[in-house]
């Protein structure tokens, strides 16, 4: 009897141990399942479709339609650009090539991301519509990611909330979380106008076959279909890695992402070398293949989004940065800038520089979970907040002969206007059967009365110089006059109740025209406004809860 009891105890302990081991490691499942379903193949060459050997003849004095390149960085902080005296690590890391797009064209100094996180922001870029118009309210993530991030996420007394009760059979699978096929993308619009359309880099707008780039208007797509990817294998001899032990998002990334791309929806394969170098090399090859026909290239780098991985050569150039993670991050920025310079140089070498509209922006502000302070200086806030640091973004356009070098404009614009601006340059038409929020800003300032942002119960509006943010956690309205307080230091909500009421009414009216989210926000997590995630908690620190 005693032996039987001991055996049962051992079996129970083993079962309990197996259960707890599974619970502790189930966040790794998405990567393992994908490895089984679509194992990463060795590198292979990408064969871009070749355009004509010679440019088509045009009447004397006329030019062919302009080529258009939209370059989007991922989680680039406003202060990561050295144009206005900024730069990583107090200005140590310069960005001369990115800066040159503004210096040789126009700098829109009051430009906004369409959302404070990547997926909805990119959805607006592609469609010219508020993503909440078609239910794309939250960044697409697997349920396992949402649950994993909620564990241990928090600051001081404020903990993350995981809404397990919202998990129902109606939630679409992660691959089906994307821009609905019924939406008209800018790629579809310019393709109808005779453009060859190319996508290189991040997508994050749906992984199901009907939602991938090649089903949404792109003739060719070399894609990272998920939200991010490894820049190099973790154990690569050329990799300098920086993990962020305080961040559950970083833990999930290192466990589940792979060094992989896919071409036109085929099997995953390893890119050659560091992802930033690879995307730039492929962009140069795609430009060469299409130099004699009008093309639209959406070049969506995944740098400097986590995981933090630099090459040894770029890391070695920054010995003056003592903090390891900041040095890796700075090396990634320097690499991104250098390779954008190579893409720009290719336009000149191909003889098409003067007939190419180049646009540069970032999907949102720098992230709080990096642990690097002042990424969005001088603005407060981070990615996932509607403070200026989360949504104010670099926004430059360069088009020789059409945009005067060194131009600046301070009118309110941003991602929402990319669709109509690109379409107008290409001679393409916007869809007439739906509301299009986008305006052609190369024809002059947008005429809209306000810009809006929404993520669950966290909402904001900018109307003229006034900006209102409304949060549920904490239950608060924050009002700022950006004309005199662009860095949102002085909350005027208590002294301006009538203006708060008017702006709340504008938010409510806007929300009545929006759609129900296609999938729910499963996580609410706190983000402190003025310090990064790894900073110690101090009573009185301002924070908001973001929903995703």
Domain membership of residue 206 (yes or no) is yes
Beta strands in 255-406 (DSSP E): 262-263, 295-300, 308-311, 356-362, 395-398
Of 160-164, 224-228, 298-302, 384-388, the least confident: 224-228
Domain membership of residue 240 (yes or no) is yes
pLDDT averaged over every residue in the chain: 94
Q: Among residues 67, 71, 69, which one has the least CA distance to residue 360? A: 71
Share of the chain above pLDDT 70, in %: 94
Residue 366, token pair as written in the block:
């720098």
Q: Cβ contacts of residue 337 below 8 Å, gap of 6+?
A: 94, 95, 96, 97, 98
Q: Alpha helix (H) ranges present in 26-164? A: 29-37, 88-91, 96-103, 118-127, 143-150
At residue 306, does pLDDT exceed 80? yes
Q: What integer pLDDT is reported at residue 55 of this predicted model?
A: 82
Label the pairing between strands 158-159 and 154-155: antiparallel
Label the pairing between strands 543-547 and 196-202: unpaired
Q: Is 139 exposed, middle or buried (0-12, 13-18, 19+ CB in 10 A)?
A: buried
- The mean per-residue pLDDT over the stretch 369-380 comes to 97
The answer to whether residues 310 and 230 touch, using CB atoms and an 8 Å cutoff, is no
- The mean per-residue pLDDT over the stretch 368-373 comes to 97
Preceding amide of 304 cis, omega within 30 = yes
pLDDT tens-digit map of 451-500: 999 999 999 999 999 999 999 999 999 999 999 999 999 999 999 999 99
Domain membership of residue 81 (yes or no) is yes
Q: Among residues 70, 69, 68, 78, which one has the least CA distance to residue 113? A: 78
Domain membership of residue 453 (yes or no) is yes
Q: What integer pLDDT is reported at residue 151 of this predicted model?
A: 78
- The mean per-residue pLDDT over the stretch 364-383 comes to 98
pLDDT tens-digit map of 511-544: 999 999 999 999 999 999 999 999 999 999 999 9
Q: Among residues 380, 80, 368, 335, which one has the least CA distance to residue 244? A: 368
Q: Among residues 530, 516, 546, which one has the least CA distance to residue 134? A: 516
At residue 433, does pLDDT exceed 60? yes
The answer to whether residues 212 and 224 touch, using CB atoms and an 8 Å cutoff, is no
Distance between CA atoms of residues 297 and 69, nearest Å? 5
At residue 2, does pLDDT exceed 50? no
pLDDT tens-digit map of 254-291: 999 999 999 999 999 999 999 999 999 999 999 999 99
Domain membership of residue 246 (yes or no) is yes
At residue 5, does pLDDT exceed 70? no
At residue 3, does pLDDT exceed 50? no
Q: What integer pLDDT is reported at residue 148 of this predicted model?
A: 84
Q: What integer pLDDT is reported at residue 18 of this predicted model?
A: 67
For residue 405, the enclosing domain spans 43-52+67-547
At residue 431, does pLDDT exceed 70? yes
Domain membership of residue 232 (yes or no) is yes
Q: Which of the four pLDDT bands, split at 50, 70 and 90, describes residue 155?
A: confident
Would you tell me the crossing angle of helices 29-37 and 143-150 to the nearest 10 degrees?
A: 160
Domain membership of residue 22 (yes or no) is no
Structural domain count of the chain: 1
Write the CATH number for 75. Answer: 3.40.720.10
pLDDT tens-digit map of 31-71: 888 889 999 999 999 999 999 998 887 665 567 899 999 99
The pairs formed by 531-537 with CB atoms below 8 angstroms and a separation of 24 or more are 531/373, 532/368, 532/369, 532/370, 532/371, 532/372, 532/373, 532/382, 533/155, 533/246, 533/247, 533/368, 533/369, 533/370, 533/371, 534/244, 534/246, 534/247, 534/371, 535/373, 537/155, 537/156, 537/157
Distance between CA atoms of residues 249 and 526, nearest Å? 14
| Residue 490: count of CB within 10 angstroms of its CB | 11
Q: What integer pLDDT is reported at residue 272 of this predicted model?
A: 97
At residue 508, does pLDDT exceed 90? yes
Q: Among residues 132, 110, 93, which one has the least CA distance to residue 379? A: 110
Q: What integer pLDDT is reported at residue 13 of this predicted model?
A: 52
At residue 101, does pLDDT exceed 60? yes
At residue 137, does pLDDT exceed 50? yes
Helices (H) and strands (E) in the chain, counts: 14, 22
Domain membership of residue 249 (yes or no) is yes
């Amino acid at each position: 009897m005693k032996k039987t009891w001991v055996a049962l105890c051992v079996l129970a302990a083993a079962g309990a141990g197996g259960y707890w081991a599974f619970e502790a490691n189930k966040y790794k499942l998405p990567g393992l399942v994908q490895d089984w379903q679509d194992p990463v193949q060795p590198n292979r060459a990408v064969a871009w479709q070749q355009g004509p050997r010679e440019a088509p003849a045009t009447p004397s004095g006329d030019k062919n339609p302009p080529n258009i390149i939209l370059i989007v960085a991922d989680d680039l902080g406003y202060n990561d650009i050295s144009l206005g005296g900024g730069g990583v690590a107090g200005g140590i890391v310069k960005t001369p090539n990115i800066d040159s797009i503004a210096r040789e064209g126009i700098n829109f100094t009051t430009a906004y991301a369409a959302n404070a996180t990547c997926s909805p922001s990119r959805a607006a870029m592609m469609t010219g519509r508020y993503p909440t118009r078609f239910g794309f309210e939250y960044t697409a993530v697997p349920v396992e990611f949402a649950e994993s991030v909620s564990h241990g996420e928090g600051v001081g007394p404020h903990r993350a909330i995981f809404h397990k009760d919202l998990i129902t059979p109606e939630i679409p699978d992660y691959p089906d979380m994307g821009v609905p096929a019924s939406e008209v993308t800018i790629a579809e619009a310019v393709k109808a106008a005779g453009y060859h359309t190319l996508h290189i880099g991040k997508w994050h707008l749906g992984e199901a076959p009907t939602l991938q780039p090649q089903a949404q208007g792109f003739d060719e797509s070399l894609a990272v279909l998920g939200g991010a990817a490894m820049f190099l294998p973790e154990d690569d001899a050329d990799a300098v890695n920086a993990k962020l032990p305080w961040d559950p998002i970083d833990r999930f990334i290192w466990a589940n992402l792979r060094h992989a791309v896919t071409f036109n929806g085929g099997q995953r394969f390893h890119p050659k070398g560091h992802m930033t170098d690879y995307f730039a090399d492929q962009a140069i090859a795609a430009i060469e293949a299409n130099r004699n026909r009008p093309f639209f290239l959406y070049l969506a780098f995944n740098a400097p989004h986590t995981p933090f991985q630099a090459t040894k050569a770029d890391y070695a150039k920054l010995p003056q940065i003592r903090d390891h993670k900041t040095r890796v991050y700075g090396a990634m920025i320097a690499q991104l800038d250098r390779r954008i310079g190579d893409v720009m140089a290719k336009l000149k070498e191909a003889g098409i520089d003067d007939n190419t509209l180049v646009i540069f922006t970032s999907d949102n502000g720098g992230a709080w979970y990096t642990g690097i302070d002042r990424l969005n200086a001088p603005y407060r806030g981070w990615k996932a907040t509607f403070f200026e640091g989360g949504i104010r973004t670099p926004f430059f356009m360069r088009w020789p002969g059409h945009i005067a070098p060194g131009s600046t404009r301070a009118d309110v614009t941003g991602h929402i206007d990319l669709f109509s601006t690109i379409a107008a340059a290409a001679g393409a038409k916007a869809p007439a059967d739906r509301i299009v929020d986008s305006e052609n800003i190369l024809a002059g300032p947008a005429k809209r009365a306000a810009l809006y942002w929404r993520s669950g119960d966290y909402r904001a509006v900018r109307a003229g110089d006034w900006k209102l943010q409304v949060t549920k956690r904490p239950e608060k309205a924050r009002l700022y006059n950006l004309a005199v307080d662009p860095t949102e230091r002085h909350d005027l909500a208590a002294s301006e109740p009538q203006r708060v009421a008017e702006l709340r009414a504008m938010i409510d009216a806007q929300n009545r025209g929006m759609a129900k989210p296609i999938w729910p926000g499963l996580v609410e997590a706190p983000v402190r406004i003025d310090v990064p995630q790894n900073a110690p908690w101090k009573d009185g620190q301002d924070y908001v809860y973001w929903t995703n």
